[in-house]
Amino acid sequence: MSVSYDFTGKVALITGSSSGIGADIAELFAKSGANVVVTGRNADRVAKVAKQCTDVSPKQLKALQVVGDVNNEQDLNRLIETTVQTFGKLDILVNNVGFAHMADVDTEDYFQIFQNVLYTNLNSVVYLTHKCVEHLAKTNGNIINISSIASKISSRGSSPYHISKAALDMFTKCMAAELGPKRIRVNSVNPGAVVTNFVINMGLPTEMVEKFNETIGTKYPVGRVGQSPDIANTVAYLASDTAAGFLTGSIVVADGGHLAANVSIDGEKQKLNKN
């Protein structure tokens, strides 16, 4: 039996929603009756996902398209202002955008890589949350941050990513405690390996990434790696006041049993890193 949610009348803003997990989250909210805001850096991709959202919307609600970069404060301000001007409010903020770059600490440009990863994965979330509180307080809204199981484990060659996600988890908990009196819930979803273009966009060959997912999937207790809808459904659950109204400050792991089975991916990651 499939689970359905009703977000009729809600406004959901999803960063990094022009592809991958973010696109599936946006489509699920649209399918569930919400007004959605699709945003990303590529105008064509934003338009494509926005159309898909409109097509699946029960009332054919037109998704709002905002092209921008989360690393640009002016773009983030414009994103919020356009959302509120268009829909009059904000109910759900999903901080989904993420970036990874594999590098050892003795890599020549390691610190620049570290700064870039932190800026995208953490700074943008902090800034957007800071700016959205006044709007979410009016709607008793909620925030869902897309983190990673990388926040809970270590591996070679990608310390900036692990650090950024560990910090994001703590930010989630701090905001849950701080914003609770404003009746804003804040939670995190921490995926394991998920089939998206996330790794491919780092410049790695598609066939190599597919082999990586296949190999890792055999190690997962569920017998496969994740798909974008797996994460989208978890986000929808957390966003539902009916289903998850008592959850805040939760770090919800959706990893196919990765952590439970102590799956190591260092060997496979090193193969990717060599290419």
Q: What pLDDT digit, counting tens, does each position of 146-173 carry?
A: 999 999 999 888 999 999 999 999 999 9
Contact predicate 226/256, CB 8 Å = yes
Give the pLDDT band (50/70/90) at residue 267. low
Q: Which region, left, alpha or beta, applies to residue 222 given φ > 0 means left and ψ of -120 to 50 means alpha?
A: alpha
Nearest to 266 by CA among 215, 207, 230, 223: 215
Please tell me what DSSP assigns to residue 197.
S
Nearest to 172 by CA among 136, 122, 235: 122
Q: Is the pLDDT score of 269 beyond 60?
A: no
Q: Please state the rounded mean pLDDT for residues 27-37.
A: 98
Q: Which two tokens stand for residue 222?
A: 């569920």
Residue of higher predicted confidence among 188 and 266 = 188
Give the pLDDT band (50/70/90) at residue 66. very high
Token match 């990608």: residue? 158
Domains and CATH numbers, the chain: 11-273 (3.40.50.720)
pTM here?
Answer: 0.93
Tell me the percentage of the chain whose pLDDT exceeds 90.
Answer: 83
Q: Is the pLDDT score of 219 beyond 50?
A: yes
Please tell me what DSSP assigns to residue 23.
H
Give the pLDDT band (50/70/90) at residue 202. low
The pLDDT assigned to 272 comes to: 52
Give the pLDDT band (50/70/90) at residue 196. confident
Q: Which residues are catalytic?
A: 161
Q: Which two tokens stand for residue 109?
A: 């440009």
Strand partners, 65: 38
Q: Is the pLDDT score of 70 beyond 50?
A: yes
Q: Please state the rounded mean pLDDT for residues 230-250.
A: 97
How does 233-248 read in b/e, with b if 16+ C-beta sit within 10 Å? bbbbbbbbbeebeebb
Contact predicate 160/117, CB 8 Å = yes
The pLDDT assigned to 1 comes to: 41
pLDDT in tens, 107-132: 999 999 999 999 999 999 999 999 99
Contact predicate 238/30, CB 8 Å = no
The pLDDT assigned to 69 comes to: 96
Nearest to 46 by CA among 82, 8, 90: 82
Please tell me what DSSP assigns to residue 62.
P
Find the radius of gyration of the CA atoms of the chain: 18
Averaged pLDDT score across all residues of the chain: 92
